[in-house]
C-alpha cells in the first residue's frame, strides 16, 4: 500500500511537471492598489440585488488585481449575508505528502506544494484582493448564511488578501468526498480556513474573525489535516484583530483560530500577529496542535518565524475528538492550548497567554516525548521578551 501511494505521487509529479507552464499559480503580480476603488452600495447578494447596484460579489468579480473594494457610507455597521456558493471546487496550493520505506519503518516526506481542491467557498478570487471598510466607523460584516446544512467558507483567495475593518463569520468548511481523484489521488476536499483561506499573504487590520468552523475526516495522512478554524493562510500579518469562537474538528487538527503555513514557496520569512486577541477557539481531534494559533514555520525543511507581540491569547482549547475509543486515544497527541509552532521559530513579545487548556490521555512515547503540552508548545526554541509578559501552563 505504501509502495503504491509513492508510485502514485511520483506519477502526479511527472504530470504536473509536464503541464506546469499551463497552470496558473497563486499571487501572480501585485496589481494596482492605487486604482479607483469599486464601491459596494448594497448589503444584498447577487440573486436578490436590483439592477444598477454593486454587490460585494459583483465587485470582487470586476476588480482588477489589487484594485480596492470599498463601501458606501450608508452600509456602515451592516452585514452582507452571502447565500450563493461561488465556487464548488476552490483551487489553492497545498502540501502533498508521500511515503517511503526506511530501516526503521515507513516515513512520510514532503513531495511539494501543488494545486489542490479546498471545496466550497461563497466568494473566491484568483488575484490580489483588497476589501477596505476603514472609512466605515462600525465596519462591515461578511457572513455565510448556509450553516452546517449548506456548508461553505466565507472567502478564499489565490493571491494576497487585504482586509480592513471587516468581520467574517458563519463560514463552515467541511471535507467532502470527490467524485474523481485529483492530484496525489486526493479523495476528499481539504478542510482549511472556515472563515478565510488564502494561498498568499493575508493582511488583516482591525478585523474580527468569529464563529467559523472547519471539519475534516480522520485519515492519518498529514496532507489531509483540518486547519485554521478562522483563518488559514500561507503568511498571516494581523494587526488589532479579534479571532474568537472558531473551531476545528478532524483526525489531524491545528490552528483553532489562526493557521499560518509561514511562507512556503516564497521569500517571505515572518508571520506577524500584533495588538490582537485570540480567544475562545477550539480544536478537537486525535493529533491536535495550537488551539489559538499554529505556525508551520514555512513548511517542512524551512525555519521561518512567527512573531506574536502585545497580544492576548486566552481561553483556547485543545481536546480529543468526541467518540474516539480508548485504544485510539492511547496513541493521540494534544499540544499547545494557546500557540504551537513547528519547523520554524517563535518570538513572543509583551504577551499575555493565560487560561488555555489541553485535555487528552497522557502518555510518554518511545522517544521520551510527552503527548500533552501546555499554553505554548513548539519543536524549536521560544524566545520570550517584553515587560509584563505572562504565561500559564495549561490545565489538563
pLDDT at residue 381 above 90? no
The sign of the torsion formed by the CA atoms of 236, 154, 20, 108 equals positive
pLDDT of residue 5: 38
Tell whether 211 is covered by a domain: yes
Distance separating alpha carbons of residues 235 and 102, to the nearest angstrom: 33
**Residue 21 pLDDT more than 70?**
no
pLDDT top residue among 22 and 172? 172
Confidence of residue 16 (pLDDT cuts 50, 70, 90): very low
- Res 183 pLDDT > 70: no
pLDDT band of 393, cuts 50, 70, 90: very low
Per residue in 259-296, pLDDT tens? 999 999 999 889 999 999 999 999 999 999 999 999 99
Is residue 320 predicted with pLDDT exceeding 70?
Answer: yes
Nearest to 136, CA basis, from 65, 211, 41: 41
Q: Distance between CA atoms of 164 and 130, rounded to whole angstroms?
A: 8
For residues 392 and 395, give the distance between their C-alpha atoms in angstroms, rounded to a whole number. Answer: 9
Ranking 28-32, 47-51, 103-107 by mean pLDDT, the lowest is 28-32
C-beta of residue 191 within 8 angstroms of C-beta of residue 232:
no
How does DSSP assign 364-382, residue by residue?
B-TTS-BSB--SEEESS--
Ordered DSSP codes for 227-238: E-SSEEEEEEEE
Which residues have a Cβ under 8 Å from the Cβ of 241 and sit 6 or more positions away?
A: 204, 205, 206, 207, 208, 209, 273, 276, 277
User: How many domains, the chain?
Assistant: 1
How confident is the model at residue 74, as a pLDDT? 98
Residue 318 pLDDT > 90 = yes
Please tell me the predicted confidence (pLDDT) of residue 186.
Answer: 86
Mean pLDDT, rounded, of the chain:
87
- Cβ within 8 Å of residue 168, ≥6 positions away: 141, 142, 143, 154, 155, 195, 196, 207, 208, 209, 210, 212, 230
Q: Can you list the alpha helix ranges (DSSP code H) found in 262-375? A: 326-329
Does some domain include residue 396?
Answer: no
pLDDT greater than 80 at residue 196: yes
d(CA 12, CA 6): 10
Over residues 81-87, mean pLDDT:
97
pTM for this predicted structure: 0.89
Residues 210, 242: contact at Cβ < 8 Å? yes
Q: Is the pLDDT of residue 392 over 70?
A: no
Cβ atoms of 31 and 65 closer than 8 Å: yes
**What pLDDT, on the 0 to 100 scale, is given for residue 369?**
78
Which residues make beta-bridge pairs with 140? 166
CA-wise closest residue to 193 among 215, 214, 169, 224: 214
pLDDT band at 388 (very low <50, low <70, confident <90, very high): very low
| SS3 state of residue 154 | strand
Amino acid at each position: 500500500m505504501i509502495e503504491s501511494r509513492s508510485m502514485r505521487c511520483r506519477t502526479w509529479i511527472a504530470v504536473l511537471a509536464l503541464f506546469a507552464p499551463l497552470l496558473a499559480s497563486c499571487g501572480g503580480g501585485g496589481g494596482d492598489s492605487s486604482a479607483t476603488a469599486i464601491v459596494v452600495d448594497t448589503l444584498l447578494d447577487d440573486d436578490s440585488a436590483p439592477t444598477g447596484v454593486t454587490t460585494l460579489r459583483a465587485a470582487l468579480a470586476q476588480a482588477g488585481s489589487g484594485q480596492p473594494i470599498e463601501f458606501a457610507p450608508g452600509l456602515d455597521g451592516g452585514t452582507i449575508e452571502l447565500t450563493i456558493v461561488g465556487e464548488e471546487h476552490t483551487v489553492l496550493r497545498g502540501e502533498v505528502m508521500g511515503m517511503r520505506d526506511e530501516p526503521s519503518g515507513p516515513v512520510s516526506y514532503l513531495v511539494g506544494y501543488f494545486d489542490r481542491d479546498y471545496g466550497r467557498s461563497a466568494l473566491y478570487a484568483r488575484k490580489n484582493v483588497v476589501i477596505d471598510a476603514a472609512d466605515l466607523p462600525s465596519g462591515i460584516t461578511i457572513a455565510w448564511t448556509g450553516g452546517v446544512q449548506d456548508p461553505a467558507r466565507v472567502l478564499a483567495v489565490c493571491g494576497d488578501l487585504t482586509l480592513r475593518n471587516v468581520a467574517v463569520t458563519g463560514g463552515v468548511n467541511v471535507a467532502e468526498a470527490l467524485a474523481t481523484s485529483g492530484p496525489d489521488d486526493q479523495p476528499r476536499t481539504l478542510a482549511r480556513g472556515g472563515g478565510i483561506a488564502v494561498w498568499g499573504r493575508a493582511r488583516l487590520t482591525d478585523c474580527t474573525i468569529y464563529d467559523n468552523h472547519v471539519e475534516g475526516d480522520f485519515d492519518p495522512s498529514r496532507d489531509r489535516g483540518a486547519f485554521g478554524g478562522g483563518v488559514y493562510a500561507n503568511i498571516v500579518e494581523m494587526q488589532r484583530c479579534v479571532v474568537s469562537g472558531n473551531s476545528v474538528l478532524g483526525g489531524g487538527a491545528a490552528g483553532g483560530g489562526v493557521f499560518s503555513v509561514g511562507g512556503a514557496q516564497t521569500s517571505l520569512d515572518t508571520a506577524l500577529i500584533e495588538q490582537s486577541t485570540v480567544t475562545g477557539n477550539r480544536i478537537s481531534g486525535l493529533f491536535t496542535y495550537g488551539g489559538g494559533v499554529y505556525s508551520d514555520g514555512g513548511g517542512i525543511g524551512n525555519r521561518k518565524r512567527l512573531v506574536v507581540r502585545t497580544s492576548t491569547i486566552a481561553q483556547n482549547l485543545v481536546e480529543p475528538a468526541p467518540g474516539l475509543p480508548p485504544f485510539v486515544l492511547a496513541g493521540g497527541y494534544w499540544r499547545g492550548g494557546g500557540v504551537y509552532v513547528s519547523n520554524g521559530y517563535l518570538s513572543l513579545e509583551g504577551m499575555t497567554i493565560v487560561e488555555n487548556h489541553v485535555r487528552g490521555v497522557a502518555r510518554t512515547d518511545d522517544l521520551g516525548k510527552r503527548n500533552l503540552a501546555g499554553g505554548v508548545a513548539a519543536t524549536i526554541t521560544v524566545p520570550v521578551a517584553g515587560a509584563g509578559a505572562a504565561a500559564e501552563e495549561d490545565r489538563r
